[in-house]
Amino acid sequence: MDLATLRDVTFTYAYAEMPALEGVTLQLQRGQLYGVVGINGSGKSTLCSLLRGLIPHFHQGTLEGTVEILGKDLGEWDAAELSRTIGCVFDNPFTQISGIKDTVFEEIAFGLENLGVSRSDMLDRVTSVSEQMGITALLRKNPNELSGGQRQKVAFASIIAMDSEVLVIDEPTSQLDPQSSHAVFEIIADLKARGKSIVLVEHKIDLMAQFADRLVVMRSGEVVAEGPTAQVLASPAMDAADVPRPEVTDLAFALEAVGKGLGCVPVTRREAEAAIATRMRGTQIHADRVA
């Protein structure tokens, strides 16, 4: 059973003139980490809302085409069942705090309370997630008084504590520093390793290149490419969607343009280092022979 199947899906928000999604056809497999990239207004967040079932349950508009989530038509899903099955982290950390809890500990436990998790399990999960996220120092603080980045971590921790089968994550690192962003990606990779299906919207393309199994590239509400990350990053679809490539990929293309290609198109720093090291070894051997 697929994670999601979208066939020729078009969605227009109520009172909007243009569709936010247009003719989207996608098949997402379970157990994979899908990265969704695209410039602002390309339909990434709308796609997240659709996959999470917020469309049509919360957001009003006209939905055409077929959407199946975990083998079941979206219209047949009960909103409560969806909320238990698919965890969702939004891009705005300021509205993701419940607003009624006095400590971060209680805030993270809030979703678990709603799922009827026993108190002892709750304590274990909150403790474990907060250690994983590196926010144990925040546990006694009031979530309403945290900075944007801290709130983002707490919101993310709150959702992963719920241990949903599927996670839809919309720009989880928009307010985080590079170190924290990398840590969040490590956690996402760990979740994937534990069998979770993940759809991740993110602008940090270098991290996407490193962690995503497959990439979905969007432009003006349309999916312009979908496939294995390395293949998509090297494809012209990235230029068509105005999405920047990883710096190392750009470097490889620049070298190729001047006839000094690396022999491969690296998308991660590690791949680039390996390719450059090979080149340098080759150059050294050549120099030794000449000498």
In whole angstroms, the minimum distance from the beta carbon of 50 to another protein comes to: 13
79 contacts another protein (rule: CB under 8 A):
yes
Piece of the chain touching another protein by CB under 8 A; list 83-91, 229-237, 247-255, 264-272: 83-91
Which run of H or of E encompasses 5?
strand 4-13
70 contacts another protein (rule: CB under 8 A):
no
With 0-12 CB in 10 A as exposed, 13-18 as middle and 19+ as buried, what is 220? middle
In whole angstroms, the minimum distance from the beta carbon of 17 to another protein comes to: 21
In whole angstroms, the minimum distance from the beta carbon of 40 to another protein comes to: 18
| CA atoms 132, 137, 140, 142: torsion sign | negative
In whole angstroms, the minimum distance from the beta carbon of 217 to another protein comes to: 26
* CB-based contact 94:145 (threshold 8 Å): no
200 contacts another protein (rule: CB under 8 A):
no
Structure tokens belonging to residue 233: 């990053």
* Number of CB atoms found within 10 A of residue 281's CB: 10
Structure tokens belonging to residue 149: 């980045």
Structure tokens belonging to residue 186: 């490590």
Q: Which of 14, 15, 76, 116 binds another protein (CB under 8 A)?
A: 116
> Residue 187 — φ and ψ, nearest 5°?
-65, -40
55 contacts another protein (rule: CB under 8 A):
no
Q: Kindly list the residues in this chain that would bind another protein in the complex (CB under 8 A).
A: 52, 54, 58, 79-80, 83-84, 87-90, 92, 94-103, 105-106, 109-119, 122-123, 126-127, 130-131, 136, 139-140, 144, 158-159, 162
